[in-house]
Structure 1
């Protein structure tokens, strides 16, 4: 199924609810088990660490400034303005900015517009401008740096809703982006259901192990969980679920 912008939408209420509860670290581990090693946005800081984020990726790509064509890419309803003004409920704006820390990729006015339209969060491997004002909006934002200069110092808006590389991660529009206080991770749309299933199971096992270790037991046999402790785990899980 695709949304009004033609972006694939694999989020169901059940998947979204599960993703709001699990850790990005666990999701990253599950993706690594499937051979996908680069899914966590490296080096980006959460602007509001207490906010969780789940949504489908919408993408914006900046390229380096070349002065003879800068007006062609920056004037009018450019890629940045177009993507911000086309946000829909459930979107996460992911910006490729080449890791440049000394020019803005978005400021408070455009961020306000995106969130007003239902954007769930912003991820940029560049800088924010008007950072305190964006933080005050109270939404999840992940960024490399803060800088007072406008984007034209380093960037030209080049394309929207095409695959990008952000903080070392390849992102396709429609991928699922999850954020917590540690950072943000991308889940390929085709893998969302199985990754969520196995992530919930992994976190259940880790909760059981953490509880037993906190009670004084050794982690041996508990983390990772071995067959010898599986019956104990299943009994714990049944009791917790009222079974």
Structure 2
């Protein structure tokens, strides 16, 4: 790639929406919708990674080149989620210790890479939340091969637009339309409140199948006549 295309920085969402999303888990979103979830191959570098959310700032960079990534790190704002399309490259790591420090100093909420990272210990030491496809010792260089910044990309098999909202945690990464993010957060917060009650009931000795009525449903399938009799 030699083309260079740069778009405007996306509008940042209300902080209250981001704070609400960071109260929930990606798995809670997965209970209500199945779209927008990146490949399960994209995992958090830190296994205990807490939820982070932010507006998507998108980047596509080719193979061995990270020139535009360094440019992007001079443009990102506190709270942005930098989402990087590696255009199919799975060999070259574009993020290591120095890039992680630059991203942390810029205040980004996290970095999502459809490719590998390197310098894992340094990334963890920096405290920068990173999600990627594994680790590589082969790194990118400043080759000025172009790319795109704040243009539509694909990451983890999901289309990502500048301005989308990204929620990521130890269970995965999901991309949400900005105009739906607040409602999704509200629904998931309510669900997690119900789950907390279920967890307490389990501690109190109740069986999961009784709480969810799965036992009743299976018994009804096994003994349809008994169910019909109770309905007469």
Does structure 1 residue 134 correspond to structure 2 residue 123? yes
Matched, 1:90 2:79: yes
Q: Whole-Å Cα distance in 1 between the matches of residues 210 and 77 of structure 2?
A: 47
RMSD across aligned positions (CA): 2.7
4+ residue segments displaced more than 6 Å = none
Corresponding position: 1:20 with 2:22: yes
**Is 1:47–2:77 an aligned residue pair?**
no
Pairwise CA distance, 1:156: 4.7
Deviations 1:124-145 (Å, cap 9, x if unpaired)?
1101132322221012111112
* Unaligned stretches of 5+ residues in structure 1: 66-73, 226-243
Gaps of 5+ in 2: 1-7, 215-232
- Decide whether aligned partners of structure 1 residues 152 and 9 sit closer, same or farther in structure 2, where only a CA change above 3 A counts: same
Please tell me whether Structure 1 or Structure 2 has the larger radius of gyration of its CA atoms: 2
SS at match of 1:213: helix
CA distance in 1 between counterparts of 2:88 and 2:149 reads: 18
The TM-score with structure 2 as length reference comes to 0.78
Q: Deviations over 1:6-43 (max 9, x none)?
A: 31222323x222222211101222233xxxx2423421
1:9 aligns with 2:22: no
SS of 2:167's equivalent in the other structure is strand
Q: Is the 8 A contact 1:20 1:54 kept in 2?
A: yes
When normalised by structure 1's length, the TM-score is 0.75
Give the structure 1 partner of residue 3 of structure 2.
none
Cα shift readout 1:137-177 (whole Å, capped 9, x = no counterpart): 01211111211222259x95511111111111211112111
C-alpha contact 1:121 1:139 (8 A) present in aligned 2: yes
Are positions 1:166 and 2:155 aligned together? yes
How much has 1:178 moved relative to structure 2? 1.6
Rounded to whole Å, the distance in 1 between the matches of 2:54 and 2:85 is: 17
With over 3 angstroms needed to count, the CA separation of the structure-2 counterparts of 1:24 and 1:157, relative to structure 1, is: farther
